[in-house]
Amino acid sequence: MAKKFIEDLVKEMTLEEKLGQMTQLSPEFLGIDPTMDLTGPMNEFNVQPQWLDKIGSTLNGYGARQLRAIQEKNMKESRLHIPILFMGDVVFGYRTGFPIPLAMGCSFNPDNYEKASHIAAKESAASGLHLTFAPMTDLVRDPRWGRVMESTGEDAWLNCQMTKAAVHGFQGDDFKEKGRIAACVKHFAGYGAPWGGRDYNMVDISEGVLREYYLPAYKAAVDAHVAMVMTSFNPVNRIPSSANQWLLRDILRKEWGFEGPVISDYASVDETISHGVARDGAEAAQKCIQAGVDIEMMSTNYLSYVSQLLEEGRLDISLIDEAVTRILELKDALGLFENPYKDASEEDEAALHRCSQHLQAAYDIAVGCPVLLKNQGVLPLGPEVKTIGLAGPFAGCEKTEADESLYLSLKRRLPYANIITAMTEPLGSLQRGIKDVEDQVQAAAEALKDCDVIIAAVGECGEDFGEAASKTCLRLSPNQERLLWALKQTGRPVVMIVHSGRPMEIYPVMDCADGIIQGWHLGCEEGIALADILTGKVNPSGRLTMSIPYNVGQIPVHYNAFNTGRPTQGKDERYISRYLDCPNEALFAFGYGLTYSRFEYSAFETQVLECEGCCPDETVVARAGITVKNVSDRTGTEVVQLYIRDIAAQVVRPVKELRGFNRVELAPGEFRTITFDITREMLAYWNNDGEFVFEPGEFDLMIGSSSADVETARVTIGQSR
Ligand code: BGC
């Protein structure tokens, strides 16, 4: 039941006022031009001047001064003085830049994701924002898709932990409080599975796969009381998400009990016409409202056609009233009726943005994200390293003036070292391979040939990943590869740092480097975080949450693949499920990552607890324990991982699924016993009768340091033996 004042307000509103609440436009339409980042096609939509004082929310306008001015105007000029809700994309930090979510995933550290989200909430709230379009929890298995960088990776279970952490980080226990903002989980549903990795493309997934892999993280957000849900651009099984009643009403509302508003993605109501499921704007509005989209982002079909649809009896006014009620309830929950400006404050902006405490947190979080992929005795750089060669476009030029480059960070950490740079021009035609740079490459190798070590900071720049940045080739640019080969020819040890928003195809240049760090993009503290890992001040602890393929032809390659009737048995046989020219497994698998320490695992122990199939889902049915010891002379962090496999079920099950992890920091010689509790829920799967079931039987429990390096124990659970 809505509060009385909201019920009364809805009764008092004209149809146009209601539809204004159900429409989101960028602030430029409201006559003010804050700094904006518009991501969609610039449709010329028919915005009528009389709508403008009725618009319920804006997107991607930021800044306390500008947003206060918009709100002030609205509170003065609109008839019912309903506050505007300011929304925007705060995805990897606001002014203090944090690692991209894929890198955050690799930290296997939900607490850090929560901290980063909290800081982003504080900073953006001071700039007048009320809600962020985050977290993006789309499961990703195809690095050709440019937006894998916005997800925490390929595993549903890990994504659920990260999603809950992010939602709580933004919202706290009550997003009305100062320094908190509402969160909007996106993109519901399955946006991470477009055909061929091409953005905005078709998604066609069986219900079992959707339920077990693609939906859980959105549900985790709903269970964590996320304020809003955004639909996706793609169709799910041939119906665009914004017009998909099964997704939005049956699953989201009825099954999961979500009560907040649903917003379309950018112009995706309009796009139902391009998808060919609506003949015109009127039908687009009708279908999306019937499906349950409460707010139309950046198109105006609701305002243009709902009146006609009501007159023709094609829509029921109760659907409009329900939608408006949900939107007003969110505004009320944010406290906007009492204080329409919430935390917007220029003083707080000055005090909070990139304050030393936030920068320290950005550093602490960033150092946990890089993944050490290869180390043939070259890292960490020892005191004997006096001359360092630094090459590649990420050595120093991609950083803003305020962010310290890798070059400056190395200088700060190693004041005695001589650092020689070569070919550090930013990515552009030069680095992309359009221009022939053979001469520069040779000159760079010549300049660095006497260095004790060469660091090559290579990868892809911001424009090459993210939205609408799909690729068919994931190799480094030809000029970067050429540079790496030339550096290898010097005979000096080479460390390659891969700065990318997606797993890249590094196999062809693997041999050029003695050490490889998957550095991702780490935000404003990237330079110093990497310098500290290179010099050993920090021991790397990141683990991959997205498999790195040998080549594009292997995609999708993810660790939790289904078994086939003809799996490889390790023998060289012809008629089995495999490629002739490449292994089935990834080059670097999910969960993989080296450190400067060495850990030893004891034999692992299992305990099956009595269960006759009668206990509730959360009940622990088995335990698995293992002792891990640091057998090196350096303190380090091991990420101990638990996987399970159901040996026989009604439907085909994956060869492994992550069900637990534990980051443990161990001093030299220190050991710790890690125990994982296994519940019925962790062993359940979506069966052909359309339900999650736990079936007693045999399971493999696996513990290890990556999905490709585990010890296995077979247990029988839930059956009297
Ligand atoms: C993206 C969303 C984003 C929205 C608003 C869309 O193009 O898909 O993730 O929240 O724009 O900027």
Packed helices 526-535 and 356-366: angle between N→C axes, nearest 10 degrees: 50
Distant-in-sequence, close-in-space partners of 74: CB < 8 Å, separation ≥ 6: 30, 53, 81, 83, 84, 340
Q: Are the CB atoms for 659 and 685 separated by under 8 Å?
A: no
- pLDDT of res. 721: 41
DSSP for 503-560, written as a single string: ----GGGGGG-SEEEE-----TTHHHHHHHHHHTSS------SSPBPSSGGG-S--TT
Q: Does 89 sit in the ligand 1 pocket, CB within 6 Å?
A: yes
Measured between its terminal Cα atoms, the distance across the chain in Å is 51
- Of 59, 89, 131, 151, the residue with max ligand 1 atoms within 8 A of its CB, to mutate for a pocket test, comes to 89
Q: Are the CB atoms for 132 and 119 separated by under 8 Å?
A: no
In angstroms, the CA 523 to CA 100 distance is 7
Q: Does 526 sit in the ligand 1 pocket, CB within 6 Å?
A: no
Residue 315, classed as helix, strand or coil, is coil
Atom of ligand 1 nearest to the CA of 232: 8
Distant-in-sequence, close-in-space partners of 128: CB < 8 Å, separation ≥ 6: 62, 63, 64, 66, 67, 68, 71, 86, 341, 342, 343, 344
- For 569, the token pair is 């048995």
Atom of ligand 1 nearest to the CA of 298: 5
Least Cα distance to 22 among 436, 305, 278 occurs for: 305
**CATH topology classification for 370-541:** Rossmann fold (3.40.50)
Least Cα distance to 195 among 470, 465, 469, 460 occurs for: 470
Cβ burial 431-453 (10 Å sphere, 16+ → b, else e): bbbeeebeebbeebbebbeebbb
| CB-facing half-sphere around the CA of 102: CA atoms within 13 A | 32
The rounded Å distance from CA 238 to ligand 1 centre is 21
In angstroms, the CA 22 to CA 298 distance is 11
**What pTM does this model have?**
0.96
Task: Please tell me the chain's helix, strand, coil percentages from 3-state DSSP, rounded to the nearest 5.
Answer: 35, 20, 45
Least Cα distance to 179 among 233, 256, 120, 101 occurs for: 120
Q: Does 150 sit in the ligand 1 pocket, CB within 6 Å?
A: no
The rounded Å distance from CA 39 to ligand 1 centre is 6
In angstroms, the CA 665 to CA 636 distance is 6
Q: Does 358 sit in the ligand 1 pocket, CB within 6 Å?
A: no
- pLDDT of res. 573: 81
Burial class (CB in 10 A: 0-12, 13-18, 19+), 394: buried
Q: Are the CB atoms for 187 and 230 separated by under 8 Å?
A: yes
Residue 108, classed as helix, strand or coil, is coil
Atom of ligand 1 nearest to the CA of 60: 12
- pLDDT of res. 575: 92
The rounded Å distance from CA 147 to ligand 1 centre is 11
Residue 20 is inside which H or E element, if any?
helix 15-21
- Of 230, 233, 265, 298, the residue with max ligand 1 atoms within 8 A of its CB, to mutate for a pocket test, comes to 265
Tell me which DSSP letter residue 425 carries.
P
Least Cα distance to 203 among 232, 174, 173 occurs for: 232
Q: Does 467 sit in the ligand 1 pocket, CB within 6 Å?
A: yes
DSSP for 153-207, written as a single string: -S-HHHHHHHHHHHHHHHHTT-TTSTT--EEEEEEETTTT--GGG-TT--B---H
In angstroms, the CA 260 to CA 253 distance is 9
Q: Are the CB atoms for 87 and 23 separated by under 8 Å?
A: no
- Of 26, 39, 231, the residue with max ligand 1 atoms within 8 A of its CB, to mutate for a pocket test, comes to 39
Residues of the chain under the 70 pLDDT cut: 31-45, 397-402, 428-434, 611-618, 720-721
Cβ burial 482-497 (10 Å sphere, 16+ → b, else e): bbbebbbebebbbbbb
In angstroms, the CA 167 to CA 58 distance is 21
- pLDDT of res. 354: 97
Q: Does 685 sit in the ligand 1 pocket, CB within 6 Å?
A: no
Tell me which DSSP letter residue 243 carries.
G
- pLDDT of res. 34: 47
50-to-29, 267, 300, 395 alpha-carbon distances in Å? 12, 21, 13, 52
Residue whose CA lies nearest to ligand 1 atom number 6: 266
- For 523, the token pair is 């935000």
Residue 257, classed as helix, strand or coil, is coil
- pLDDT of res. 371: 98
Q: Does 162 sit in the ligand 1 pocket, CB within 6 Å?
A: no
**CATH topology classification for 599-717:** Immunoglobulin-like (2.60.40)
If one counts every other C-beta atom within 10 angstroms of the C-beta of residue 430, the result is 17
Q: Does 407 sit in the ligand 1 pocket, CB within 6 Å?
A: no
Tell me which DSSP letter residue 563 carries.
P
Q: Are the CB atoms for 638 and 671 separated by under 8 Å?
A: no
Distant-in-sequence, close-in-space partners of 699: CB < 8 Å, separation ≥ 6: 622, 644, 645, 646, 647, 683, 714, 715, 716, 717
Q: Does 62 sit in the ligand 1 pocket, CB within 6 Å?
A: no
The rounded Å distance from CA 138 to ligand 1 centre is 13
- pLDDT of res. 205: 95
- pLDDT of res. 572: 75
- pLDDT of res. 68: 95
Residue whose CA lies nearest to ligand 1 atom number 10: 133
The rounded Å distance from CA 102 to ligand 1 centre is 17
pLDDT digits (tens, 9 = 90+) for 319-366: 999 999 999 999 999 999 999 999 999 999 999 999 999 999 999 999
Q: Which residues are catalytic?
A: 265
The rounded Å distance from CA 266 to ligand 1 centre is 6
Atom of ligand 1 nearest to the CA of 191: 8
389-to-195, 492, 575 alpha-carbon distances in Å? 42, 10, 49
Q: How far is CA 273 from the centre of its chain?
A: 29
Q: Does 39 sit in the ligand 1 pocket, CB within 6 Å?
A: yes
Domain boundaries, the chain: 370-541, 599-717
In angstroms, the CA 143 to CA 627 distance is 35
